Every structure is written in structure tokens, then in C-alpha cells.
Amino acid sequence: MKIGMLTWEYPPRIVGGIARHCNDLAIALAALRHEVHVFTLDFPGAPAFEVTEEGIRIHRVASEIGHPSFLTWVLLFNHFIEKRIADVGQEVKFDVLHVHDWLTAPVGIAFKRSIGAPMVLTMHSTEHGRSGIHNPDSSTIDGIEWWANYEASKVITTSGSMKSEICDHFRLPWEKVEIIPNAIDSDKYQGSVDREAVRARFGVQPQEKLVLSVGRLVPQKGIEYLIQAVPSVSWRSPESKFVVVGEGWYRDHLQHLAGTTGQAWKINFTGFIPDHELIALTKSADVLVVPSVYEPFGIVALEGMAAGVPVVASEVGGLAEIIEHDKTGVLVYPRNPDSIAWGINHVLSNPDHAGWLSQNARKFVPKAYSWKVIAKKTVKIYREVAR
Amino acid sequence: MNLSSGGLPGHPAIPEEFRLLCMLHNIGATTTEKSMSIEEVTQWTELDVEVLRHLLQKLRQLGYVEFVEVDGTKKYHVTPVGITKVMTLYS
């Protein structure tokens, strides 16, 4: 099939899970011998067009006009992506357009009309869930999300909780929405690392316990509750050190909050780190904490599980579907520092049990969350709508 | 989520320098070639020049903005790290 994938983030333009999701899905689709064209935004240093070694055709589009208003900017870049698809569409007859989230929905909606190809939409999250509908702009985004869900022939969500959320919020027919989970490349997490050297780079000594958290520094990730749990964890596990990986507009607030715990010296905010370093760090951690308050899927938890590190996660959204409590990880109450501290201490103070948890998780992840399986399920949907 | 909201209900406001960073990104000052002078940025953002200078200085220290000198005029643009920082707001 000829597939047009539309996403506002694609490597090297990476911020959250969408870029990695689209990249890995595109690779898996190409491996199944489908022709994949990715339409995305430009990024300094990345070519405007390239064919990757896997055969993916990436079209990076510059928005030639800017505007300080975010929503206007979104409409402008959609316009420029539309022009590029129009050019490519002269030579390529797409069988399906696959839009990821609302940011590229306007161009997807326009093109499904003009080229007569059906549109599939993956909803990775909703404005309602991310921040609530609290002002005119968020109301507009919510409206565009509803519009995209209405226009799509099929909607994909990555978890059952997300399916319930969008069916309820957008009043979608249940049968219009398919659940296809995220996946990861477990092979990336095989092999050994020099644990002591990796930990030392992040200020963690061999005898200390590395408590790791990875995610965008925004309220929905719940990092503030982990920080509030630091004194309780330190009381039970004085040798614990906390490494917070990620970036976001909430960082200043979180660092200030860390200062109020009296334990700021134990908390290292690293900002973004390269993928290879993140994998090494994850494999070197004693526990990975995912304290999200809203998490449609929670791919970070899967990555931790694949890396063989015990995972402590909030019992919300997709996390509660990925992790079986006290078998493949530990679930804790969201927005609850005491519960998070309990979960971390439960892992740190029971190394044998922690090892058993991570072993179970490591066996489970490749079976349930492989990109090959996920790509085949996605193609089944493409074929269904392209009939 | 947007900048005019001043952040999320119940959470601290988005820092001023971050608002400016987002505006620089949205108006297209994202590469050396598309760098903008303080006067150009002022026209788009309607910020006071002195305030703008102060915020740009802060963003430079954080590594989110760089400048190039063209005919003796400093022109500013968002760095790749700055672009990723902006995207955390919308993703």
C-alpha cells in the first residue's frame, strides 16, 4: 500500500512519544514492503527530503510564514504541508492517509477529500485530558480534535482507557475506534552497559540507589508528586539519588519545589539526553518511576520493563493496562506522594522481589508489544478503510 | 494549551522568557537565515525593547536562543534545543 503519514514531530524533531511512535511504525510498515511517505515539519540540520535506509520517504516542510499565535502558526504549517502533499500526490496515488493527533488533522481532512483516500487518525491524547478545556484556544483545539475524529474513517487509540475517553468525550461510536497499543524495539535494551560509569556520569555512586524518572516536565507527568515523595524515600532509603530526565515549561517550578524538600542535592535534573545515553541510564537504574496523572499509554514504562528495571507507575490510563501490579511492576495511587514513596521503597528494600518483577516484565514486553505485530494490525485497518 | 492562558488552572504561570521563546518559534525565527533583529521581534511581539533584551539574554544563557551579527546588527533565532523546549508545551 502507499501510505501518507502526517505528524508534526518526527526524528530528529523529537519531544514526546509521537515522534518515536511514528518512526518505529514507519520502519515496521516499510519492512512489510509498504511505501511510506512521512510528511512533517522541518528541523535545523535535517534534509527537506530523504529516503532512509529502511526505504521511508521523509518530506520535511518549512512553514514559510510565521505568526506569534500558536493556533495561526498551526494552520500555516498545515497549509505548507498541504502544498507539499499536493506536489507528491501528482506522482504517488496514496491508498490511505494516517494522521497523528490534531496538529496535522486540517491537512489530512483536506487531502482525504481531494485525493479520495481514506483518513485514519491515531489519537495519542486529548486536549481535554492534557490540560482541560479552560480557555478559547483549548476549546478550539478540542473542536479540531472532534472534527478530526468525525472525519476519520477509523480512529486508533493506544489503550482501552483512551478509547473510553474519546468515545465518551467526542461521542464516537464504539466500533469506530480500534485499540492498537504502542510498541518498542526490545533489542535496543539488550546488551550490557558499564553501570558504574553510567551512574557516575549522573552523580550516582556505586553504593547509592538510582531512582529514575523520564518524561516531559509538564504537569500531566506528575513529577511534582515524585519530588514531594523524596523525603519519605530518603528516610527509608538514605542512599537513594534521583535523576529526572526531560525538559519542559514546568522545569523552573519543579526545581524550586525540589529546593523546598531540603534534599535538592539528591535530585539531578538533566534536561534532554541522547537516546543511547537514556537507554544506558535506564539499564543502570534501580527503579524507574512514572508518576503521571494523565497517561494515555505510557511508553516510558514499557522501555523500563524492556531494560530490566523495576517500574513503579501511577495507576492511571494505559499504565494500569500495561502493568500487572506486583507481578510486572508496582502500581501506586496518582497524585499521592506517600503512595509513590511506598512503591519506591517496596522495590528498593526488596531486591529479590524487585528482580523477580523486572524478570517477569522483561519476558512479557517483547511478546505483547512488538512493532511487527502492531504494524500488521495497523495495515489491517488500512485495508479495511481502503476498500 | 496556549500561551495566552498563562498556564494551566491551578499551576504556576508560564515564565515570561518561555512565552517569548514560543513566539520566536511561531514567527519562524528558527534558523540562522531566519534570525530577527530586536526591532523585528518587537514588531511581532509588541514587547518593550528593554524587556525583550533582558528576556533574550536569559534565553541565550539557557541555550535556547543564539544570535548572529549581520552588518553590525544582532539577529536572534531559536536553537534546536529551544525548538524542542517549545514543543513540550504543545505535545
The candidate with the shortest Cα–Cα distance to A158, out of A255, A31, A49, A16, is A16
Beta bridge partners of A60: A40
pLDDT beyond 80 at A111: yes
Across A248-275, average pLDDT: 94
Tell me if B80 and A43 make a contact (CB, 8 A cut-off).
yes
B35 CB-side CA count, 13 A: 17
- What is the per-residue burial (b if ≥16 Cβ within 10 Å, else e) of A3-12? bbbbbbbbbe
pLDDT tens, position by position, A215-226: 999 999 999 999
| pLDDT value at A365 more than 60 | yes
- pLDDT for residue B89: 78
Inform me whether the pLDDT recorded for B2 exceeds 90: no
* pLDDT value at B9 more than 70: no
Task: List A residues 283-312 in contact with B (Cβ-Cβ < 8 A).
Answer: none
HSE value, Cβ hemisphere, 13 Å, CA-based, for A45 = 7
Per-residue pLDDT, averaged over B48-76, amounts to 95
pLDDT surpassing 50 at residue A294: yes
Contact criterion met (CB below 8 Å) for A73 and B26: yes
DSSP secondary structure letter of residue A325: B
A368 touches chain B (CB under 8 A): no
Percent of chain A exceeding pLDDT 70 equals: 100
- Residues of chain B found within 8 Å of residue A66, distances taken between Cβ atoms: 26-29
Mutation to test the B interface, candidates A249, A250, A251, A272, most B Cβ within 10 Å? A249
pLDDT digits (tens, 9 = 90+) for A154-173: 999 999 999 999 999 999 99
From chain A residues 87-126, the ones with a CB under 8 A of any chain B CB are 103
What's the whole-model pTM score? 0.90
pLDDT, greater one: A384 or B7:
A384
Distance CA A84, CA A60 (A): 9
User: Do the chains contact at A219 and B11, CB–CB below 8 Å?
Assistant: yes
* Interface contacts A/B by beta carbons within 8 Å: 94
Which residues of chain A from 133 to 152 reach within 8 Å of chain B, CB to CB? 134-135, 137-138, 141
Nearest-angstrom CA–CA distance, A194 and A374: 32
What does the pLDDT look like over A176-212, one tens digit per residue? 999 999 999 889 999 899 999 999 999 999 999 999 9
Mean pLDDT of A340-362: 97
- Name every residue in B having a CB less than 8 A away from some CB of A: 1-5, 7-9, 11-12, 14-15, 18, 22-23, 26-31, 44-45, 79-81, 83-85, 87-91
Q: Do A9 and B12 touch (CB under 8 A)?
A: no
Rounded mean pLDDT of A268-289? 96
* End-to-end Cα, chain A, rounded Å: 12
Cis peptide bond N-terminal to A12, omega within 30:
yes
Using CA atoms, how far apart are residues A184 and A179, in angstroms rounded to an integer?
16
When pLDDT is cut at 50, 70 and 90, the band that residue A152 belongs to is very high
